């Protein structure tokens, strides 16, 4: 017998081992009609899978986000079935069909057919037919040899490969059946095909079996799926909108940065205009950190092998690091993190309890290995700049420090125009280092800090790193996408490994608390997010060119030059368009460059010492004296306004 506590009923039941969610629901006399699956001890299960362990069960309904996993995985099967019906059972060999963040894909081999986007509508139609037919989805198990024989008969060579190489001997081999279609699968699946929601097939591309170039190339068909048509439509609109805002295109059009194969994938070069954006962000960051009692430091880009051994990076982080360099008799590594250097700064002299907290901050560029296929503009690079800081403090300071960091993070992100956040707290995992009391102090300080902000948060129970609990903050951009930015991470590992201590009031050595924290995470990525959030129309304080002066004719150039000088004296970034072009062309070009202000000057302006101001997003123009305009734009800049 097993004991199952059903959260939805707030009641504990005893069942025979091997009972399914389907049986449980039957016992409840159909009281829960809209259940599509469940969550057993945190793991998603479907109504078909035998339950062999006691624990906590929560019913999953459509409104639970986890239920999407079941929907999307079932749609992968429905798509596979459709392909078999269209191209013939014996011609379609199935690879793997997992879920993705917004949908699913299936890798397939189709003899004699290379799919293109034009084939997708027909496949969609067939899928809709299968959904309409409402096949019951059934689960069954086969002994290993029988399962292999079953797939041999169907020429499903990839399924056999999976059984032989991915399913350990002795483990049950489960299959799912809907109509005539049978697939090797662990689940989870819907009760029947007509429970499937709204979907769309998006694209088809090549994918090597098991990602290996020496293996056959299969065809990967991507789909997206949601429970309702509206959610699907919103998502597709968002994707369209995201394409228009692609920071790689904006970066190119506005000449902000350069990522080029000749330099190396994932290695960004900041062009003059992009460098201004970055400088503004970095200046504001430094100013705010100094104000809040951080000390700025600079550390090298490489460090000795021994340092990375002591820090543990060579044992648990090496796959993300670039290979060893030999310099004279020593090995060196390019840094994937700044932490060990900051620890060395702390350790460079004996520290007293009176000196704490010590807050060391650095815009430190780190290098991490990313697969070339995963690189994406500024969002996923191989070299990036962390807005990093390490706080080293006493136990009685932990709570204040964490609250301050979270406050700094949220205020900073708000100053860039983000006002929707998702906050996550990750707590102690099964395997961990450090003593329990320190974990308790750390977790409670994180919790209290979040609660003091009044924000909702999600707890990832047991999801923390082995060396400490953390808070993650995601921001929501203008089209509803979430981006991971801030992290506040305790570390009980490095202080031990580096034997960090301070001399307490009692004249004894004490282990300090250590906190890693970043607000943007990566400056490169954050600028990518900003460009997409604002669709390139950055707030005035960040705009590389804040004002474009447009003389109507050559004879107005001299006055235009006077206006330019006046703006430069006031630290306003200004360009004068002295090309021999028509005024309308100049205005259009300035618009394409997403410049927030244009000052048109002609006879009237030159005579009266004024400028005709055209402001982004506003119709027509407004005539102001030069001084009036200067004070207007200065106020907008100092308030970090977006137009
Ligand atoms: Zn499946
Ligand atoms: Zn760190």
- pLDDT digits over 45-99, tens only? 999 999 999 999 999 999 999 999 999 999 999 999 999 999 999 999 999 999 9
pLDDT at position 172 is 85
Tell me which ligand sits closest to the C-alpha of residue 491.
2
Kindly give the distance from the C-alpha atom of residue 186 to the centroid of ligand 1, in angstroms, as a whole number: 6
Give the model's pLDDT for residue 143. Answer: 93
Give the distance (Å) from ligand 1 centre to CA of residue 183: 7
- Distances in Å between the Cα of 277 and the Cα atoms of 255, 260, 583 are 12, 20, 28
Segment 350-375 mean pLDDT: 96
Q: Can you tell me the distance from the alpha carbon of 272 to that of 255, in angstroms, rounded to the nearest whole number?
A: 8
Q: Is 312 exposed, middle or buried (0-12, 13-18, 19+ CB in 10 A)?
A: middle
Q: From CA 385, how far away is CA 520, in angstroms rounded?
A: 10
Place of tokens 């339950």: 51
Q: CB within 5 A of ion ligand 1: which residues?
A: 185
Rounded to an integer, the average pLDDT of 387-408 is 97
Beta strands 173-178 and 137-142, pairing class: antiparallel
Other CB atoms within a 10 A radius of the CB of residue 158 amount to 21
pLDDT at 29 over 80: no
| Mean pLDDT of the residues in the chain | 95
pLDDT of residue 28: 84
Which pair of tokens denotes residue 611? 């400028």
Which is the catalytic residue, given 72, 220, 278, 368? 368
Give residue 641's pLDDT band: very low, low, confident or very high (50, 70, 90).
Answer: confident
Q: Which pLDDT band, with edges at 50, 70 and 90, does 35 fall under? A: very high
Active site residue 390: yes
Q: Is 335 a catalytic residue?
A: no
Known catalytic residue: 185?
A: no
Tell me how crowded residue 142 is: count the other CB atoms within 10 A of its CB.
Answer: 18
The answer to whether 108 and 115 are in contact (CB under 8 A) is no
Q: What is the mean pLDDT of residues 340-359?
A: 98
Residues 462-493 pLDDT 10s: 999 999 999 999 999 999 999 999 999 999 99
In this structure, the chain runs to a length of 643
- Other CB atoms within 10 A of residue 484 CB: 15
- Over range 535-552, report the average pLDDT: 97
- pLDDT at position 34 is 87
pLDDT score of 416 more than 80: yes
Q: Is the model's pTM score more than 0.75?
A: yes
> Tens digit of pLDDT for each residue in 205-242?
999 999 888 999 999 999 999 999 999 999 999 999 99
Among residues 343, 345, 388, the alpha carbon closest in space to that of 365 is found at 388
Cα-to-centroid distance, 415 and ligand 2 (Å): 24
For the question of residue 295 being annotated catalytic, the response is: no
pLDDT at 330: 96
Q: Which residues of 258-273 are buried (b: 16+ CB within 10 A; e: fewer)?
A: ebeeeeeebebebbeb
SS3 for 309-366 is HHHCHHHHCHHHCCCCEEECCEEEEECCCCHHHHHHHHHCCCCEHHHCCEEEEEEEEE
Q: What is the pLDDT of residues 492-525, one digit of tens each?
A: 999 999 999 999 999 999 999 999 999 999 999 9
**pLDDT value at residue 170:** 85
186 tagged catalytic: no
Count Cβ neighbours within 10 Å for each residue of 9-21 and write b for 16 or more, e otherwise: eeeeeebeeebbb
pLDDT at 125: 97
81, 178, 386, 397: which one is catalytic? 386
Q: Alpha helices of 458-610 — where are they, by DSSP H?
A: 494-497, 523-533, 557-569, 583-592, 603-608
- Is residue 442 within 8 A of residue 391, CB to CB? The reply is no
The predicted model gives 566-585 an average pLDDT of: 96
pLDDT mean over 543-557: 96
Query: What is the three-class DSSP state of 479?
Result: coil
- pLDDT over 90 at 248, yes or no: yes
């Amino acid at each position: 017998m097993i004991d199952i506590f059903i959260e939805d009923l707030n009641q504990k039941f005893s069942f025979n081992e091997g009972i399914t969610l389907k049986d449980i629901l039957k016992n409840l006399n159909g009281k829960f009609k809209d259940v599509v699956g469940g969550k057993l001890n945190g793991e998603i299960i479907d109504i078909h899978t035998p339950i062999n362990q006691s624990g906590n069960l929560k019913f999953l309904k459509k409104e639970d986000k986890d239920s999407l996993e079941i929907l999307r995985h079932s749609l992968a099967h429905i798509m596979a079935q459709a392909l078999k019906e269209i191209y013939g059972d014996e011609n379609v060999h199935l690879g793997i069909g997992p879920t993705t963040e917004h949908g699913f894909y299936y890798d397939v081999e189709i003899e004699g057919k290379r799919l293109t986007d034009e084939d997708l509508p027909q496949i969609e139609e067939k899928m809709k037919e299968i959904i309409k037919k409402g096949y019951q989805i059934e689960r069954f198990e086969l002994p290993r040899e029988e399962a292999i024989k079953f797939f041999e008969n169907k020429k499903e060579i990839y399924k056999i490969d999976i059984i032989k190489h991915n399913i350990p001997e002795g483990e049950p081999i489960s299959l799912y059946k809907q109509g005539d279609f049978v697939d090797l699968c662990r689940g989870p699946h819907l009760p029947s095909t007509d429970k499937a929601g709204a979907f769309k097939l998006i694209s088809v591309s090549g994918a090597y079996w098991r990602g290996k170039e020496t293996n056959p190339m299969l065809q990967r068909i991507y789909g997206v799926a949601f429970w309702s048509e509206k959610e699907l439509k919103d998502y597709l609109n968002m994707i369209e909108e995201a394409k228009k805002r692609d920071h790689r295109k904006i970066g190119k059009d506005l000449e902000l940065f350069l990522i080029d194969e000749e330099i190396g994938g994932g290695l960004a070069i900041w062009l003059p205009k992009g460098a201004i954006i970055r400088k503004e962000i970095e200046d504001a960051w430094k100013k705010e950190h100094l104000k809040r009692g951080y000390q700025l430091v600079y550390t090298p880009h490489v460090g000795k092998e021994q340092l990375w051994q002591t820090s543990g990076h060579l044992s648990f982080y090496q796959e993300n690091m670039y290979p060893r360099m030999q310099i004279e008799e020593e090995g060196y590594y390019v840094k994937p993190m700044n932490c060990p250097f900051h620890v060395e700064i702390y350790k460079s002299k004996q520290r007293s309890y009176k000196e704490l907290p010590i807050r060391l901050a650095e815009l430190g560029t780190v290098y991490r290995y990313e697969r070339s296929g995963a690189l994406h503009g500024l969002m996923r690079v191989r070299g990036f700049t962390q807005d990093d800081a390490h706080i080293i403090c006493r136990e009685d300071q932990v709570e204040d420090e964490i609250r301050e960091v979270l406050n700094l993070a949220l205020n900073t992100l708000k100053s860039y125009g983000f006002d929707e956040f998702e906050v996550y707290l990750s707590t102690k995992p099964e395997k961990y280092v450090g003593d329990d009391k320190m974990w308790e102090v750390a977790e409670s300080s994180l919790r209290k800090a979040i609660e003091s902000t009044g924000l909702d948060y999600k707890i990832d129970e047991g999801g923390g790193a082995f060396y400490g609990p953390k808070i993650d903050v995601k921001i929501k951009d203008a089209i509803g996408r979430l981006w991971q930015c801030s992290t506040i991470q305790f570390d009980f590992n490095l202080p031990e490994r580096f034997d960090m201590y301070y001399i307490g009031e009692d004249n004894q050595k004490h282990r300090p608390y250590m906190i890693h924290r970043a607000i943007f995470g990566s400056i490169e990525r954050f600028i990518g997010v900003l460009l997409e959030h604002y669709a390139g129309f950055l707030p005035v304080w960040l705009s590389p060119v804040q004002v474009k002066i447009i003389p109507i004719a050559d004879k107005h150039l001299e006055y235009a030059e006077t206006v330019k000088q006046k703006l430069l004296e006031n630290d306003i970034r200004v360009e004068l368009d002295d090309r021999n072009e028509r005024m309308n062309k100049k205005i259009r070009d300035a618009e394409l460059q997403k410049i927030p202000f244009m000052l048109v000057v002609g006879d009237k302006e030159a005579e009266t010492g004024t400028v005709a101001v055209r402001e982004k997003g506003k119709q027509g123009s407004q005539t102001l004296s030069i001084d009036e305009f200067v004070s207007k734009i200065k106020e907008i800049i100092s308030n970090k306004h977006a137009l």
